[in-house]
Every structure is written in structure tokens, then in C-alpha cells.
Amino acid sequence: MVHPKEGRITLYDTTLRDGSQAEDVLFTVEDKLRILQRLDEFGVDFIEGGWPGANPKDELFFQQAKSVPLRHSRLTAFGSTRKPKSKVENDPVLNGLLRAETSVVTIFGKSWDLHVSRALGITLEENLHIIDDSIRFLKQRVDTVFFDAEHFFDGYKAAPEYALKVLETARDAGADCLVLCDTNGGSLVHEIAQITQTAQALGAPLGIHCHNDADLAVANSLSALTSGAMHVQGTINGIGERCGNANLVSIIANLCLKMGCNTNITPEQLARLTPLSRFVDEMINRSPRKNQPYVGQSAFAHKGGIHVSAVLKDAATYEHVVPELVGNRQRVLVSEQSGKSNLIYKFREMGIEFNGTVEEDGKLAGLLQKIKELEKEGYQFDGAEGSFELLARRALGKMPEYFAPRGFRVIDERRFRETSAEGCPGLLRVRDSEGTVKLLVAGVVEHLVSEGTGPVDALYNALHKVLQRYYPSLASNRMMLMDYKVRILNKGGTDAKVRVLVGWRDHSRSWSTVGVSDHIIEASYDAMLDAITYKLFKDGIAPLGGVAPTFGVIPADFVKECV
């Protein structure tokens, strides 16, 4: 490990351990095993799996991880130095690390005199003995030992001589890398650079581990790497305790694309960065952060008309890297700020033929005005590209109509009645939601009622039962509601206007639609109508027009069957 310009930087991922300490993050053993495999496929050098002995879950993870073949990465066990009053041979933490049977072990020790005296309650000299004993014990039994100098930067600022003495002790005991930790996450970039350069005089391999409490974890990590460190630790998407850890996603992209550093990541692996980021978000059950650099959905999204006009000529005008290099893609958004360039780009993306004739230019101008009017009402098409494509095709006269809505009605009832279970009195809640839809399909007005678990489900069931009689593909490849978001628009109160954004999926694609109303069920219903129309069009189904359904007359008892 030498200077970045002369050697290779090693990447150390601690998502499975430090990342799991984030609020609302809870990995199962299966989650950890799946993330382990994805990180290995991506190509990071070290994957910190957890703290064996600290909890049964991590014990089980390390047992099961032994059967996972790793091609690029080395699994690492994490723990602390020995306890003050125990001998290394009998110390439960150190022996727990050995039971994990990993070839790499990382231990942390105190490097801030405040923690030694207050947290451990021992002398400064005794702390040095603990570090020395622990590292020597492990080095005799495992191939690689990393030493995390906890609170190193705060420790250096308070007592520089002692902080450096801690590093010297770890170096002389045989640690393979001295990792400088900004544990409280409050150091500034110039402090990280200056202190790392000072530590470099020890002649030992240095690493960096930063937290993000001052929103500088990525910048601080890169600063340390340009100041002599050759090993960097972080988590995918920056998850971690308090404000999080250094975001390894951004660090990797910057190292590979901006700094020209030598890492273990090939261009093919770098192109998996965005899928890796989203996979980890999926594992922790959270929506990906749209504006996350490099991998966010908005990272290469363009909204302003002037920007889009320039991007169409040369993407470098408003994109700092080629998005495909990190597995992302360019997006052009449609909004009231859009110009004709935005719309033409979207037409091209959706496969809509546009030749720029005088007639088409007039329709384009009308579409642009319509979008501005709808956004004034509260519509937003950034995340509802299904609804936007229908709007665009209709404006250009390129959209068939499969049915026409004529009305709907919802009856939603909740009743409570006394009941008993095994002699114990209680209340039984009875729910009853009934949705009625009226549609014009193939020249026939259909009027049908159906039940559901709630008003939206009841309306969907009624729509689906009517339309699948005319368009059987709705039954063979049924669409499913995957996401449902409601946003109050104009004011508070129960009469406020709302925007409903609904995500859908079938066997082959996913899409989103939007509805706006001061009636939440109406907004949901409008989004639902768009969703079904979009699916029929994308499935290549021809509209029936005035033709009767192929099965003949709808049986008289059909409505009765659906109630």
C-alpha cells in the first residue's frame, strides 16, 4: 500500500456491520448472505461481515458464510481489543473472532486519551499493552489483522503524541494496516489531510474510516487517500449510525472516474454500481435516494428546456460523466419548465414518431400548454411516465381508446359487533367495501359492482372484471399495484386537493400513473384508468371500437356473480 498514484487502493465494505447500526436497518442472516454475494461479484477487496460472538445472528452468519464461495473478496470478522482484566488466551471477544475462521480480522482500540480514561477507566500505558497483546495474539493465528484506531482524529487533536503512540504500538505488534477513524464524523477536510500526512511518517500502511456527521465523509475519505492512505472503508449508500458512514458508492466512482486511481474494480464491475446501490436499498426496505450522486434516479435527469436542448447536442454540456459507466442512464423530465426539446427527447425515448411537420409542431405546442395547465392543477409527470405517454400520444393523435369512463360509486362500511372467543368478550370488526363502475366499451355501456378489501381494491376489481371480458390479456397477464403515494397539494384540511401516484407491474414491465383531485378515491380511480389503458397499449392490443365482445352477450347473472 503506497500513494494512490503509485499503487492500488484497497476497498473495504462495512455495510453488513457498521451499516446495520443505522436506525431502521435490520438485516436477516439471509439478507447478509445475499449482500455478501453481490459485494463479492462487484469486486470490493474486503467485506466486514459482523461481530462474531456479539449476537447469535452474526454467529450464524459466519457459520453459513463458510459455504459461500468468494471470487474477489475476503470476508472479515470485526471485534475489539481484549478486555482490560482478561488474558488474550481467555478473552471472549478475541476467541469469538477466531471461531469465525476468517483469514482477515479487524479490531478497534482506543486512540483518544479521553476514551481511555473515561470509557475504559484505565491508564494510558495499560491501553497500549491491551492493543499490543491483542494484535500479537491474532497475528499468530490469522493471516491479516487491521487495526481501527477509534476516534483517532479527535484523539490527535486532543493529545497528538499519545494518538501517534497508539499507532506505533499497533504497527510494532504487526498490524497490516492502521485505519484512522473519524468516529464522531466531525473533522474537516483540511484536518484529515494534515493529520493523515503526519501519520504517514510512521512508515506503516494507512487506511481511512469516516462518519458523516458533518456531511464530509466522502470528501474526508478522498482527502486521506490523497494524503497517504491506501485503504478506504465505507458502506453502500452511506448507511450507518447517526448520520451514516462514508458512502462507498461515491468513493468508488470518484476513484475510478475522477482520480484515475488503481482499484480492483474493472469497468464491467463499475457498470454494476447502480444496480448494487439499489439492491442494498431493497434489502433494507427503503426507497433509493433520488438525488444520490452517480446512482440516483435524478443523477442524470434534466428538466429545464435549455439544459435539454444542450444535452441533445452534447451530453457533456450538463453531465460530468457518462451515466452508463456506473450503470445509470440519462433521463429527461417533463414539467412546466419543459421546452420542445424535452418533449422531442421523450418522444424518441417512448418510440413516438415525430417528423417536425407544421401540423405536428402545432400539436407539440398544444401539448406543452396542456402540461403547464395540468401542473398548475397539481399534476406532476416526473414519476408518472405512463400517464405522460398517454397524454402525449393523445395530443399527437397516436393513441387508440379502449373504453370510456361514465362514472363510479363506492360504498365503504366499517361495523363493530360484540363477539367472544373461548369465552372472552371482545369486538369483531366487519369491513365491507363495494365499488360500482360504469364504462362504455365496444359500444356497450357496462355497469358492474364488485367487492374488495377497501374502496380502491373494490373499484379495481370491478374495472378488471368488466374489461377482461373484452380484453382477455388483462386476465392472462394481470397487472398488480406495487406502490401508492398520496401528497396533499394546496392546503391542509380534509378538503385539500391531493395527488396520487401509483406504481404498477405485470409480468414484463413496470410503470406509474398519476391522478389529481380533491377526492382521494377519484384521484386513485383516474390513475387506475390510465394504468389499464397504458397496459393494453403496451401489450399491443387493438381496441374493439364499436365491435361487440367475442364471447357474445354478457350473461344476465354476471353482475350478480361479482357482488
Within 13 Å and on the Cβ side, how many CA atoms surround 349?
Answer: 18
**Predicted local distance difference test score (pLDDT) of residue 364:** 82
**Set of cell numbers at residue 92:** 471472549
pLDDT of residue 413: 83
Helical ranges in 102-237 per DSSP H: 113-115, 124-139, 152-158, 160-173, 189-199, 217-225
* Residues in a beta bridge with 412: 433
pLDDT, tens digit, for every residue of 32-56?
Answer: 999 999 999 999 999 999 999 888 9
Domain annotation covers residue 78: yes
pLDDT at 2: 39
Lowest mean pLDDT among 76-85, 222-231, 294-303, 422-431: 422-431
pLDDT at 337 over 60: no
> Which segments of 10-120 does DSSP mark as H helices, in order?
29-42, 56-65, 92-99, 113-115
CATH of the domain at 127: 3.20.20.70
Inside any domain, residue 513: no
CA angle (64, 66, 69) in 5-degree steps = 115
Query: What is the spatial distance between Cα 383 and Cα 408, in angstroms, rounded to a whole number?
Result: 26
pLDDT of 424 = 61
Confidence check: pLDDT of 482 > 60: yes
Q: Is residue 50 part of a domain?
A: yes
Let me know if residue 25 belongs to a domain.
Answer: yes
Better pLDDT: 256 or 3: 256
Residue 42 within any structural domain of the chain: yes
| Overall domain count for the chain | 1
289 φ/ψ angles, rounded to the nearest 5 degrees: -75, 120
pTM for the whole structure: 0.71
List phi, psi (to 5°) of 42: -70, -35
Range of the structural domain that residue 53 is part of: 10-258
Whose CA is closest to 105, among 131, 80, 132? 80
Please check whether residue 153 lies inside any domain of the structure: yes
Assess if residue 532 is contained within a domain.
no
Q: Is residue 437, in this structure, part of any structural domain at all?
A: no
The residue whose grid cell reads 448507511 is 239
For 368-416, what is each residue's pLDDT tens digit? 888 888 888 888 887 788 998 999 899 888 899 999 999 999 998 877 7
Burial of 550 (0-12, 13-18, 19+ CB in 10 A): exposed
